[in-house]
Amino acid sequence: MTPVLGILSNPIVSYPHLPLFISGTIVDQSGRTLSGQTGEAFVVSMNHGKPMAIGLNCALGADQMKPFIQNISRASGAHIICYPNAVSGYRITGERGLPNAMGAYDESPEAMALQVEKFAQEGLVTILGGCCGTTPAHIK
């Protein structure tokens, strides 16, 4: 049993009447989760829990996350979650959505809003939020 399935197995059985929201993290532009799954495989492996919503959080900024959100949106009938980091593009070193050299997350709320607004307009997501580096202004 994978760690995620182990974590999920008891709550699903114990609380079947509660809505289940599942969010995974992709590690880089490969689009693979921390356990090595593609976005589509992640969705398939979580469908047994009948999630109300499934999506991705952390590791990437909104612009890098879009193709992976598109993939899980096509693979799932659930609501789609997207919680990107507040970063603009990849660093010269090729690092994922981590702070810049000064330790700051540099994507402004306005820049992030322009990115995620497109996701909503295209019908890719129904639940938007933010992860590392986001502030209440990013979520507003």
Give tens-digit pLDDT for 83-139: 999 887 554 444 555 667 667 788 899 999 999 999 999 999 999 999 988 999 998
In a domain, 112, yes or no: yes
| Residue numbering of the annotated binding site | 58, 131-132
Q: What is the domain extent for residue 120?
A: 19-139
Q: What are phi and psi of 115, to 5 degrees?
A: -70, -55
Confirm whether 30 is domain-assigned: yes
101 falls within a domain: yes
Cα-based distances in Å from 24 to 17, 35, 98, 107, 111: 22, 10, 17, 22, 23
Other C-beta atoms within 10 Å of 110: how many? 9
pLDDT of amino acid 105: 80
User: What domain count does the chain have?
Assistant: 1
| Residue 133 belongs to domain with CATH number | 3.20.20.330
Specify binding-site residues for Zn(2+): 58, 131-132
Answer yes or no: is 14 within a domain.
no
| Residue 53 domain-assigned (yes or no) | yes
**Is the pTM above the cut of 0.85?**
no
Q: Is residue 47 part of a domain?
A: yes
Average pLDDT over residues 69-85: 95
Count the alpha carbons within 13 Å of 44 in the hemisphere toward its beta carbon: 6
For residue 4, is it within any domain?
A: no
Q: Is residue 107 part of a domain?
A: yes
